Amino acid sequence: MGLAAGFDKNCELLNSLACFGFGFIEGGTVTALGQEGNPKPRIFRLKKEEALINCLGFNNLGAEKVGDHLKKRANPKIPIGINIGKSKSAALEDAAKDYLFSFEKLYPFANYFTINVSSPNTPRLRELQNDLLPLLSKLQEKNQELSNLMKQNLKPLFVKIAPDLSIADLEQISRICIKAKITGIIAANTTVSREGIENIPTLEGGVSGKLLETKSTQIVRHLYKMVGKELVIIGVGGIFSAEDAYKKIKAGASLVQIYTGWVYQGPCLVQQINQGLVSLLEKDGFKNIQEAVGIEA
């Protein structure tokens, strides 16, 4: 049970957040250049739908300042991921250079990295999903270079995708991730769809929460059918209970993340889900989570 990116954008709360029972935490999204994000107000609750709309726009201090901060602190004793995205001011053709800057600055402080190409709040960012191989290949080259320099293993890389992709898009991205030796896929980011919202507000941004639960689980299932165990799948979107997390696992997720569910359900949700998963596994006769991964795919 991990915390999804977006909650601790500048990686300032990692030690405090670890106390809530998370198994891993993902900080960010961090961009090469510091940026204020979109004008406020920029995050809204849809209480009836148990959802959020956010149009934050990667507000963060920038990779250099986040790295300086992390130098001064010891990470908690759980895996820490750092989610990196494209600076708003960087042209699409310069995206690889922009990501590489953040990747290199933050490399010593992360157990894994997530390549965010799916936020709807940075203009044209999602277009990177159309041709990921050049970006991922350059990141893996740098990964190899830095791991050799630091005499470490390669850092696992994940790609965070949008929930609004077609099956053909998912197949293409899966093939590219395998070719580039990416560790896995995080499914999924916020959706631009307004389906299921009773009184649709005239707000830009991505929708998260309960409205995303079914769609993201379907994507996890499709991905698992396509890649089996060739890629690690992290399921995220609409997890409010142990039952929700279990659906993602049985669809093919080896790991799950929460954000909006934690906002609505409160700080005890992590422990409740962990305890609930133990009961659900025992009920179905499984000895561990891995035995349940993908059984309904």
pTM of the model: 0.96
Nearest to 214 by CA among 222, 226, 224: 222
Q: State residue 16's pLDDT score.
A: 95
Q: How far apart are CA 50 and CA 238, in angstroms?
A: 9
- Start-to-end CA distance of the chain, whole Å, equals 20
Q: How far apart are CA 260 and CA 21, in angstroms?
A: 17
> Is domain 2-292 in CATH 3.20.20.70, yes or no?
yes
The strand pair at 43-46 and 157-161 is best described as: unpaired
Nearest to 262 by CA among 84, 26, 62: 26
The yes-or-no answer on residue 119 being catalytic is: yes
Q: How far apart are CA 280 and CA 30, in angstroms?
A: 36
CB 236 within 8 Å of CB 159: no
- ∠ CA 179-166-121, rounded to 5°: 90
User: What is the phi-psi region of residue 209: left when phi exceeds 0, alpha when psi lies from -120 to 50, beta otherwise?
Assistant: left
Q: State residue 220's pLDDT score.
A: 97
Q: Which residues contact 144 (CB under 8 A, 6 or more apart)?
A: 154
Q: How far apart are CA 296 and CA 280, in angstroms?
A: 15
Q: Which member of 87, 102, 118, 119 is catalytic?
A: 119
Q: State residue 199's pLDDT score.
A: 79
* Per-domain boundaries in the chain: 2-292
Q: State residue 225's pLDDT score.
A: 96
Q: How far apart are CA 249 and CA 292, in angstroms?
A: 7
Q: State residue 204's pLDDT score.
A: 83
pLDDT along the chain (297 residues), means of 10: 96 95 97 95 93 95 97 90 96 95 97 94 87 95 96 96 93 95 96 86 86 96 94 98 98 97 96 97 96 96
